[in-house]
């Protein structure tokens, strides 16, 4: 019988909350000298187990690495490697960099597609921008969600209960592209029903007009992006790009209109990494030194119990050292006393020899007889 592997949840040495959401709470935790992210789902929320199982078996630079998943205390959870980077939701990026990011995401989605998988919740919060060997690397996280995901990025068919597929991911990529370059969502609404209604009428929305009205974009940038809106943010799936391959071609053409070649693209990306991205990454990351977790760690009382044991052992060691020191000190005093007694006894032996050399008449009276002759004789009275 194989031995049961201990859960990472029970090896956590510390944790700190990173984000609290309606679907799940996110924690950064440390275990086995590594940093992980724990996504702890609310009781009413869960994930597609089959999708998560397959993603856990994949190993791609643009995809998060799942280490453990399951259910605990009535909650679903996923543990994956902590990615040192910045959420795409925290940045507004240059157009060329945004197009580069989308091409990277498309490549990662192609990897998922080869396993008959789709993300289903493409939004800035599920994209971590990190520098891998000096190059910008967008990393997708949180695959396999049940439901439409972030409402501002969900395709119309997702509100109708349909599962995520390649076409719905294409729609979400278009909404994501707008958020990256503009800094806010193309569609805002109050609640599920309003988002669903606005997604059905998305064709009436003109992203190019919004960009132009902001005054922050050049005519060349607006012109290069226009074909992308027509290939992505469309209510009817038939009006979107046929597949991810076609979308990648449109992205490549847009980059060609804005740059003088691949070297220019890499220069723009490098400047972004060394500037805004590094500045964000230099911000202090919370140290998970305090346990702040939504579950009880099995098999131990907690960090304080180990502290008490360590303190007790240290105290015992100190007492042993003190006892040994006292014993050594006491033995030294006894040895000194013995030496003194030995010297005294030797002095007494010498004194006896001296007495033996003195005449008997002197020793009997204890006084020299010659001295007695000179003393006056007392008179006797009758």
Cα(184)–Cα(207) distance, integer angstroms: 12
Task: Indicate whether 364 pLDDT > 80.
Answer: no
User: Once rounded to an integer, what is the mean pLDDT over residues 186-210?
Assistant: 97
If pLDDT is split at 50, 70 and 90, which confidence band does 1 have?
Answer: very low
Q: Is the pLDDT of residue 238 over 60?
A: yes
**Token pair listed for 26:** 């996110």
CB 258 within 8 A of CB 96: yes
pLDDT digits (tens, 9 = 90+) for 72-111: 999 999 999 999 999 999 999 999 999 999 999 999 999 9
Q: Looking at residue 275, what DSSP letter applies?
A: I
DSSP 8-class letter at 357: T
Could you report the per-residue pLDDT of 39-83, keeping only the tens digit for each? Answer: 999 988 888 899 999 999 999 889 999 999 999 999 999 999 999
Helix (H, G, I), strand (E, B) or coil at 93: coil
pLDDT at 292: 73
Q: Can you give the pLDDT at residue 288?
A: 52
Instruction: List, in order of start, the domains of the chain with CATH numbers.
Output: 8-82 (3.30.200.20), 84-281 (1.10.510.10)
366 pLDDT band, cuts 50/70/90, is very low
Q: What is the pLDDT of residue 3?
A: 57
Using a pLDDT cut of 70, give the percent of the chain over it.
Answer: 77
pLDDT digits (tens, 9 = 90+) for 291-342: 678 888 876 544 444 445 566 677 777 777 777 676 666 555 545 544 544 4
Q: What is the pTM of this model?
A: 0.76
Phi-psi sector, 50: left (phi>0), alpha (psi -120 to 50), beta: alpha
247 pLDDT above the threshold of 60: yes
Mean pLDDT calculated for residue range 9-30: 89
Place of tokens 């992505």: 232
Q: Provide the pLDDT for residue 382.
A: 43
Q: Is the Cβ–Cβ distance between 119 and 168 less than 8 Å?
A: no
């Amino acid at each position: 019988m194989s031995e049961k592997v201990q859960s990472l949840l029970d090896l956590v040495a510390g944790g700190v909350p990173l984000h609290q959401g309606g679907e799940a709470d996110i924690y950064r935790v440390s275990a086995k000298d590594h940093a992980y992210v724990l996504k702890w789902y609310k009781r009413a929320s869960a994930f597609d187990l089959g999708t998560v199982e397959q993603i856990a078996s994949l190993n791609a630079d643009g995809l998060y690495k799942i280490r453990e998943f399951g259910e605990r205390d009535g909650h679903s959870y996923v543990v994956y490697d902590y990615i040192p980077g910045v959420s795409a939701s925290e940045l507004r990026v240059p157009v060329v960099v945004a197009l580069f990011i989308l091409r990277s995401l498309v490549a990662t989605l192609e990897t998922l597609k080869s396993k008959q998988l789709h993300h289903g919740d493409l939004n800035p919060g599920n994209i971590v921008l990190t520098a891998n060997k000096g190059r910008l690397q967008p990393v997708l996280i949180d695959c396999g969600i049940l439901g439409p995901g972030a409402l501002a990025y969900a395709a119309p068919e997702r509100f109708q209960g349909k599962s995520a597929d390649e076409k719905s991911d294409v729609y979400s990529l278009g909404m994501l592209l707008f958020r990256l370059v503009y800094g806010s969502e193309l569609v805002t609404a109050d609640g599920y029903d309003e988002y669903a209604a606005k997604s059905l009428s998305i064709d009436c929305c003109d992203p190019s007009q919004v960009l132009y009205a902001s005054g922050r974009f050049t005519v060349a940038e607006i012109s290069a992006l226009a074909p992308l809106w027509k290939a992505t943010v469309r209510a009817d799936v038939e009006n979107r790009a046929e597949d991810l391959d076609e979308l990648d071609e449109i992205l490549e053409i847009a980059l060609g209109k804005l740059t003088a070649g691949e070297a220019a693209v890499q220069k723009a990306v490098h400047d972004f990494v060394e500037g805004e991205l590094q500045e964000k990454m230099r911000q202090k990351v919370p140290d998970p030194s305090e346990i702040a977790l939504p579950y009880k760690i099995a098999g131990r009382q907690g960090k304080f119990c180990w502290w008490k044991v360590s303190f007790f052992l240290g105290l015992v060691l100190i007492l042993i050292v003190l006892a040994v020191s006292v014993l050594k000190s006491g033995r030294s005093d006894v040895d000194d006393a013995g030496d003194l007694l030995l010297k005294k006894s030797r002095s007494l032996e010498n004194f006896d020899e001296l007495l033996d050399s003195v005449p008997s008449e002197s020793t009997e009276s204890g006084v020299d007889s010659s001295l007695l002759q000179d003393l006056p004789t007392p008179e006797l009275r009758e």
